[in-house]
Amino acid sequence: MDGKIGLEEHFAIDETLMDSAAFLSPDVWTELSGRLMDPEDRRLQEMDRHGMEMMILSLNAPAVQAIPDAKKAAETARRANDNLAEKVARRPDRFQGLAALPMQDPDLASEELNRAIKELGFVGCLVNGFSQGADPDVPLYYDLPQYRSFWATCESVAVPFYLHPRNPLPQDARIYEGHPWLMGPAWAFGQETAVHALRLMGSGLFDEFPKLQVILGHMGEGLPFNIWRVDNHNAWVTSPKPQPAKRKFIDYFQENFHITISGNYSTQSFLAALMVLGSDRILFSTDWPFENVDYSAEWFDTVDISEADRMKVGRTNAQELFNLPAD
């Protein structure tokens, strides 16, 4: 399929490049770092070879979220967003941008989101999981009450919020001790992000801000398979709901969330996600440069779905969600 649009596609700036060094073995760091810092050339070649019209770019992880000093986090986010705006300005037909945000301070995050959307012309934001603040050992999750003002801003500018993974902090990762292969995209990324998404749903956030739209990568971080049980565990017990949310988790998942196929090219998982969310809430992505464009594109172009659904997932869903020009 030609004309595909991907929205989990990453770059780095000098200050954040080494944040990605631990995700793959040292012997491939030269290749990975080159992909991350590539201005446009290699990226465009990969896109052209595999029918991608556009990448919506975002900063690598954990980057801004791992900077405890809020002022420094804001400065880094601003530099990254200015760098990305220059990339987009050179080829707006091929690239758009998702803003990095200093979520350590909700007011600073709102300020940078407004700037990125209204001045830089970005189409959304991507945040790398929880943030570390004044006490770097205490993760800040965005269901906490102090973030309601930020979510009000996010709803007011009417752009989607991509909740991207990061690893848990060392003191919260003891279950992985002795098994480092479970960290990162193999398992820890998905578990960490799924719990964060469930916290948002259960907190009542979407009752207060029903127009918010959140994106999860990697075929929904396991939630399409598990969301039913979240709602229906011990269903024979008729006790009041313990969470503040007024509705079932599946309702929020189907009305306030979108997922991408980034880095998860399993036909069985894709079909399960289609049954849970429908084709209107799934979007193509490659997770470049951490995954190859060819793996994603070649699988997606041949997976056994209708051509109407292929067009939605591959292109038109992104056009609608990000308010991109229609064909």
Q: Which residue is catalytic, options 38, 105, 287, 309? A: 287
**Alpha carbon distance 267, 272 (integer Å):** 9
Residues whose CB is less than 8 angstroms from the CB of residue 19 and which lie 6 or more positions away in sequence, other chains included: 12, 60, 61, 62, 63, 66
Please, what is the end-to-end C-alpha distance for the chain in angstroms?
Answer: 15
- Check if 287 is active-site: yes
**Alpha carbon distance 257, 246 (integer Å):** 17
Residues whose CB is less than 8 angstroms from the CB of residue 210 and which lie 6 or more positions away in sequence, other chains included: 255, 256
Spatial contact of 317 and 274, defined as CB atoms under 8 Å apart = no
Residues whose CB is less than 8 angstroms from the CB of residue 325 and which lie 6 or more positions away in sequence, other chains included: 319
Q: Assign 302 to helix, strand or coil.
A: helix
Tell whether omega for the bond before 62 is within 30 degrees of 0, i.e. cis: yes
Partnered with residue 111 across adjacent β-strands are none
Q: Which residues are designated catalytic?
A: 287
